[in-house]
Structure 1
Amino acid sequence: MNYMRLKGNLEQKNVDNRLSYDPDIMEFYLSEQDLESPDLIRDRIRQLHRRGVKPYLHHPPRYRGEYLDILSGNPDVRRYYHESSELLARICREERAACVIHAHYARTDSCTDITRERTILLREEIRAVAAYAREVFVWEDSTEGLFSYGNPYLIEELIVPLELPLNVDVSHAFIACGGDNGRLRDVLERTQAYARYYHLVDSMGIEHDSLPLGQGRIDWRMVKPLVQGKDFIFEIALAGDHSDCTPMVDSAHYFAQVEAEDRIAAK
């Protein structure tokens, strides 16, 4: 397999760049401004369908410059979180797409006071948002806070009771696990029943660095069999206007090479 599974934005030159690689899956990273043009979002999803590409959306990360948090103390942020989620749920239902959504980002209100009680509070807020269209949302972990795998209560008190569909970001989980591949393996094994989608990204395990595969410390031979057969993309940080996705393509080649080497070793 060539594993061309890529991420981009709604700009046509960006879409054309990704489609030139004949991807299997493409994820559109949306901004607050993009949600003002829902017809454009629909058009881009339809472009992918015509090419036989599976579409994912990514919920906007910010509102008026502030990172989103489902438990934000800012009522405007919480209102936007719900309104934008409801809009994207409707688009995804009608256009046959799925949507990645964060409960919160790093350095937001949900990154303090990591307790069982606060985890349960987060669970009930997620339950309310998931009700807009449970079948289209996949929930992505953060590098820190309540919805990170550094929270010892996350899996048993939130994910399992909700049977929550997940997007596991491997680099986020690695960072939350302190750069420990053994702890990362445990997270990937414990979340397998709920994971529908993965972001494959390398990291040194210290900060959010979004490295191409092979340039960090993640053990991809360990990760590969645990994500095989599921949807994923290579979510690598890009330079400039993000129109050139070469680091993602290189990561796809790296992942395919890991598989090829494992096949040879198994003979």
Structure 2
Amino acid sequence: MRKGIRLKGGIDDKSFENRLRYDPEILELYLTEKDMEYTNRIRERIRELRRRGISAYMHHPSKYRGAYLDILSEDPEMRDFYRKSTEELLQICQEEDAKCVIHAHYVGLGDLPVNRERTIELREAIRSIPGYDSGLLLWEDSTEGLFCYSNPYLIDDLIIPLSLPLNVDVSHTFIGFQGSNDKLEEVLQRTAPYATYYHLVDSMGQRHDSLPLGEGLIEWNRVKPYVEGKDFIFEINLTGDHTDCSPMVDSAEFFAKIKAAETERDGTKVVSRAD
């Protein structure tokens, strides 16, 4: 097993076999709506990872019938798919020793306001999901909208009251604040008690660009103290058929060479050091 190699890929043969070539510590399986028709195959992939000593994560499908999922959708069929697929994946997590990343929503909702009232509405929708706080479902932030950290009510009125287990996507947070490393670090500090998993990916901070580490504007030496000792993957945008994950491997090598900045975390100073 190669220390620090933490990847993402699909459950199709080409993607899965490519990731196994790198003998990663962690593999996150990105699932589609179609994959949910073949849950036995999902289980087989997780069991293969477990046999190899690789930690398995799944990523809840992002779309239903071509539209991005939203837990507050007015479409009853989308809401039904959201709940049923989450229930199925939670069962897989419980039975196969895995965890699952899930979004409350993916993009903003047009002209709908981001306010405390709607944040509380979202909180109660999440609370209604069985197992929402089990630690097996990890809730990921978006680049805009209610479940984006630029929403000033998200942490105090949703995450803290629910003690919500989190996956923090570093680039999503950075984009949500239009490229502010100070705001990113503030979020990393405030979410540290709830975040057990992270997506590490660089960005210029203006749009969802999903760059390899070192090609964007994120100051990774400030990020590193918050993610060390926790699980994370390198979630880099891939070209072509997304089979070749070498940009993720290159990002892992880049991250391994970073010196962690001296910072304050939970009131404790984290000392800068060479890896």
- Regarding TM over 0.5, the answer is yes
Distance, in Å, in 1 between the alignment partners of 2:176 and 2:62 is: 19
* Residue 76 (structure 1) aligns with: 77
Which 5+ residue runs of structure 1 have no aligned equivalent? none
Distance, in Å, in 2 between the alignment partners of 1:150 and 1:74 is: 26
Deviation, structure 1 residue 97: 0.3
Residue 253 in structure 1 maps to residue 257 in structure 2: no
* Residue 37 (structure 1) aligns with: 38
Which 5+ residue runs of structure 2 have no aligned equivalent? 262-271
Deviation, structure 1 residue 66: 0.8
The 5-angstrom pairing of residues 4-153 of structure 1 reads 4-108=5-109, 112-131=112-131, 134-153=134-153
Contact 1:86 1:132 in 2 (8 A): no
Deviation, structure 1 residue 16: 1.4
Distance, in Å, in 2 between the alignment partners of 1:155 and 1:260 is: 25
* Residue 206 (structure 1) aligns with: 206
Contact 2:87 2:130 in 1 (8 A): no
Distance, in Å, in 2 between the alignment partners of 1:124 and 1:94 is: 27
Deviation, structure 1 residue 130: 4.4
* Residue 197 (structure 1) aligns with: 197
Distance, in Å, in 2 between the alignment partners of 1:204 and 1:196 is: 25
Relative to structure 1, the CA distance from residue 71 to residue 246 in structure 2 (aligned partners, 3 Å threshold; closer, same or farther) is same
Distance, in Å, in 2 between the alignment partners of 1:131 and 1:264 is: 40
Deviation, structure 1 residue 135: 2.8
Return the letter of the residue paired with 2:229: G
Deviation, structure 1 residue 260: 9.0
What is the DSSP-based 3-state SS (H/G/I as helix, E as strand, rest coil) of the residue aligned with 2:43? helix
Return the letter of the residue paired with 2:209: D
Per-residue CA deviation, residues 82-128 of structure 1 (Å, 9 max, x unaligned), is 0111111111111110000000011447x731110110110011011
Return the letter of the residue paired with 1:37: Y
More helix, by proportion: 1
Contact 1:67 1:108 in 2 (8 A): no
Segment of structure 1 superposing worse, 123-132 or 175-184: 123-132
Relative to structure 1, the CA distance from residue 76 to residue 204 in structure 2 (aligned partners, 3 Å threshold; closer, same or farther) is same
Contact 2:203 2:218 in 1 (8 A): yes
What is the DSSP-based 3-state SS (H/G/I as helix, E as strand, rest coil) of the residue aligned with 2:143? coil
Deviation, structure 1 residue 249: 0.3
Identity %: 59
Distance, in Å, in 2 between the alignment partners of 1:260 and 1:189 is: 15
Return the letter of the residue paired with 2:107: A
Contact 2:181 2:218 in 1 (8 A): yes
Relative to structure 1, the CA distance from residue 132 to residue 144 in structure 2 (aligned partners, 3 Å threshold; closer, same or farther) is closer
Contact 1:48 1:54 in 2 (8 A): yes
